[in-house]
Amino acid sequence: MMMRRFIAAALAFSTLVLAEPAWADAKFEAFVQSLWPRVKAAGFSRDLFDAAFSGVTEPDQVVLKLAKTQPEFTSTTSEYLAKAVTPIRIESGQAQKVSEAKLLAAIEKKYGVDRHILLGIWGMESNFGKDKGSMGVMRSLATLIYAGRKQKYAQEQLIAAFRILAKGIRTPENFTGSWAAAMGHTQFIPTSYLSYAVDWTGDGKRDIWGSKEDALASTANYLAKAGWKADRPWGWEVALPDGFNRALIGRQKWRTVKEWSDLGVRRADGQRFGVSEAKAFVMIPQTIDGPAFLVTQNFLAIMDYNLSHSYAIAVGHLGDRIRGAGPFLGEWPAVNIDLTFKERVEMQRRLTSMGFETGGADGRFGARTYEAVIAFQKRVGMGLDGRPSRKVLERLRKGL
């Protein structure tokens, strides 16, 4: 399963140390042993199984805590950007751009992926290799299968993790990553490692832990396979014209950049788009009153890496800032929604049942939920304000 099936975690939190009991958890130990038949059926030895789970005697409470607090899903886009695209991270990225210029140019030439995007991902995922994660991959996966909300994900990663160990790429002792088993400089999960990691250095190892060269090339390979196109950026912050038809907002409304320009859509910074035939759609990540973006296929390639609009915007924006661009110009509005958490989930479920994709009924409103609200309002003849309000919920309860 590719990385888009799961959202890589913010590593800044993965080294938190919480007080944990020193005694073993007999129930958890029994659970770990219950995983053996599946691992055996996949063709792995008992010796490898025992080595992989040696010393894993209790669930990791830090893993469970962080699984509930992924910042790209629990923060608004503006809150996430404030923590992700910082002056120090921009400066560090610009320094890496200079020091790794030869490497980045060679990877860009081979895979066609913008070096600034690679720097953006590297900075976001591990602070340019400083925070690669030191949590045991096998303990993290066992914990998530045992008690986490990511059981399906962790089950899918388990066998892939054993394949990595069986190949001798890592030993159980140094098989480390984030709470979500995302590993190395650019945080590949086990299945993504097996599918996309490359040996850039030619030493016979796909070492995303110790080799920034392998990690960055692997990330470029991933994005290229996800559909990255070298002739266009990830997107632009845009200014929508007065009277803009809000029914055109959303990923179902692809048009060429020229067609958007003909409709009066302009770059917020007043510059030219630079491409005309590239297809794009208008996205609003934080209410209709916040900044709007015209995003291309490359934005979706970044989302394939991490299925979060906030993350993809942060990667693109960090890359642009490293390139030398300025901050976003639009003002981010406060998000005040007059619905309880239960009502938010209900709204998303009702929208989904009516055929409007919200990205999941988790009570967290992002670009897809706003798009779904606009599409619903259009369908039933409401004003297109895109606000997930109580008025919209009441109308949803009446059906189409």
Residue 11 has what DSSP assignment? G
Q: Any bridge partners for residue 294, and if so which?
A: 236, 282
The answer, yes or no, to whether residue 391 has pLDDT greater than 90, is yes
Q: Mean pLDDT throughout 215-231?
A: 98
Residue with tokens 């088993």: 181
Q: Mean pLDDT throughout 238-249?
A: 94
Q: Mean pLDDT throughout 389-395?
A: 93
Residues 348, 361: contact at Cβ < 8 Å? yes
Please name the helix (run of DSSP H) or strand (run of DSSP E) that holds residue 98, with its range, or none.
helix 87-99
Q: What is the mean pLDDT of the chain?
A: 90
pLDDT digits (tens, 9 = 90+) for 273-290: 999 999 999 999 988 889
pLDDT-derived band at 336, boundaries 50, 70, 90? confident
What pLDDT score does 70 carry? 59
What pLDDT score does 3 carry? 43
The more confidently predicted of residues 232 and 358 is 232
The answer, yes or no, to whether residue 151 has pLDDT greater than 60, is yes
Q: Which residues contact 190 (CB under 8 A, 6 or more apart)?
A: 137, 157, 160, 161, 163, 164, 181, 183
pLDDT digits (tens, 9 = 90+) for 69-87: 655 555 789 999 999 999 9
The answer, yes or no, to whether residue 340 has pLDDT greater than 50, is yes
pLDDT digits (tens, 9 = 90+) for 310-323: 999 999 999 999 99
Distance CA 372, CA 367 (A): 9
Domains delineated in the chain: 3-71+131-225 (1.10.8.350), 341-398 (no CATH)
Cα dist from 173 to 13, 33, 54, 248, 331, whole Å: 21, 19, 9, 53, 48
What pLDDT score does 351 carry? 95
Q: Mean pLDDT throughout 182-196?
A: 98
pLDDT digits (tens, 9 = 90+) for 8-39: 333 333 333 333 444 468 899 999 999 999 99
